[in-house]
Amino acid sequence: MTNTTDAARQADPLLASAANLRDFWNQATLWLAGHYLQILIAIGIGIAIVLILLGIRSFGLRLCARDAGFSHWPTTIGRAISLTHIWFMVAFAAKLVDGYAAPPRAVADTINIFFTIAAALQAAIWARELILGIVEHRAGDTDNGTLGSAIGIIRLLVTVVLFTIAGVLILDNLGVNVTGLIAGLGIGGIAIGLAAKGIFDDLFSALSIIFDKPFRRGDSVRWDSTSGTVEAIGLKTTRVRALTGEEVVISNTNLLNKELHNMARLARRRHVLTLGVTYQTPPEVCARIPTLAREIVEAHDKCKLVRCGMTNFNSSSLDFELQFDVMSEIYEEIFEARHKVCIAILKRFNAEGIDFAYPTQTSFTAAPDGRFVLPYAAETRPIHGHEQRGG
């Protein structure tokens, strides 16, 4: 009779399924009848475990409510905990208590399958929220529009990767051979990466700008031959308003491949002025010029003298180099401070009788035999800005 029943099951799949279901029902009925007390205790323990997990989830929700910006680690962890789903709690509790109730093999296998699926999916959700929390924490106060677009793309990429891994793990634990699937996913990923290399280059460059923060919107930058103010940071390009007025659109990849100067992060801006005085200036007056320069520079707000001294005997002047810092990040203030220092130097030198040099040429008169005609030094008169001496 048994052999006839087994043959009938093999011949008719529907009949086999019905028979398996009947066997499962019979085993479950016998188990319920023989272990009802253990089952009730296990159910009570499972309910307690679920309630504890619900309390932990409520604590995570309270952590999230403290800071909606997710800028702190407790909030990031709270966000992940708050996304613990009830189906995972039930599967986790059932897995913990199934050994105590001694269920039949079919029931134990069902609980194990349910827990495997729930644990893999819940782990993917937790990992996704932790990764996004780290990204948001690292990005900080970056421009909200750019950050929102970047987070959307990152969320999509992270979700696809993590849930693909979770699906592979579920299939592997259920006994499915996933070697071919993993190889196919690897080859497909390489093909997509090569096909969209330019897009991914610009995308990851944008993420580098957002997270590393070499500049922000509103910063004054100098890149290659372009100088201007950053107006927008996109996922593919950055827009800079040049000093000449036009908008310059620069690929993020090209922007990071060259040296970029961020002029907005200067706590000070150094200026170097060359002061040329005439050769007729007495040495003792030349020795006083560094002191005069210090008084002039430090009389102005946010200006600090670095150094001043004589540097060269030029063809028409005695050259002094003046270096001073303007302690400001605002270019308008820096420009105005330099203007005031220059005007103050001009006024002070005029008051001290120190003449600025300008290009001059001296002519000497000589006899036909090449000897100077004397006294050429006694008869000196300026002619149209040139000094001529003759006899």
pLDDT (tens digit per residue) in 111-162: 888 998 999 999 999 998 888 888 777 666 555 555 556 667 778 888 888 8
Mean pLDDT on 254-283: 84
Question: pTM score > 0.85 for this model?
Answer: no
pLDDT digits (tens, 9 = 90+) for 69-112: 445 677 778 888 888 889 899 888 888 887 776 777 777 788 88
* DSSP H or E stretch at residue 342: helix 331-352
Burial of 302 (0-12, 13-18, 19+ CB in 10 A): middle
Count helices and strands (H / E) in the chain. Answer: 12, 11
Q: How far apart are CA 3 and CA 262, in angstroms?
A: 85
Residue 302 host element (H or E):
none
Percent of the chain with pLDDT over 90: 20
Side-chain-side CA neighbours of residue 60 (13 Å): 19
**What architecture (CATH level 2) is domain 202-265?**
Roll (2.30)
Q: Facing residues of 273 across strands?
A: 322
What gap in Å lies between CA 358 and CA 377, rounded to an integer? 21
Is the domain spanning 269-352 CATH 3.30.70.100? The answer is yes
Other residues' Cβ atoms within 10 Å of the Cβ of residue 180 = 8
Round to whole Å and give the CA distance between 281 and 275: 13
The span from the CA of 372 to the CA of 374, in Å, is 6
State the Cα–Cα distance between residues 168 and 172, nearest whole angstrom: 6
Average pLDDT over residues 245-260: 82
- The residue extents of the domains of the chain are 15-195, 202-265, 269-352, 361-391
Decide if pLDDT at 381 tops 50. Answer: no
- 91-99 long-range contacts (CB < 8 A, ≥24 apart) are 91/115, 91/117, 91/118, 91/119, 92/49, 92/53, 92/118, 92/119, 93/45, 93/46, 93/47, 93/49, 93/50, 93/53, 94/46, 96/45, 96/46, 96/49, 97/42, 97/43, 97/45, 97/46, 97/49, 98/42
Backbone angle region of 41, left / alpha / beta, with phi > 0 → left and psi within -120 to 50 → alpha: alpha
Is residue 296's pLDDT more than 80? Answer: yes
User: How high is the pLDDT of residue 334?
Assistant: 85
Token representation of residue 325: 């810092």
* Residue 203 pLDDT: 72
Residue 242 pairs in a beta bridge with 228
Predicted local confidence at residue 3, as pLDDT: 52
* Parallel/antiparallel/unpaired status of strands 269-277 and 220-223: unpaired
> Are 202-265 and 269-352 equal in CATH topology?
no
DSSP 245: S
pLDDT of residue 33: 67
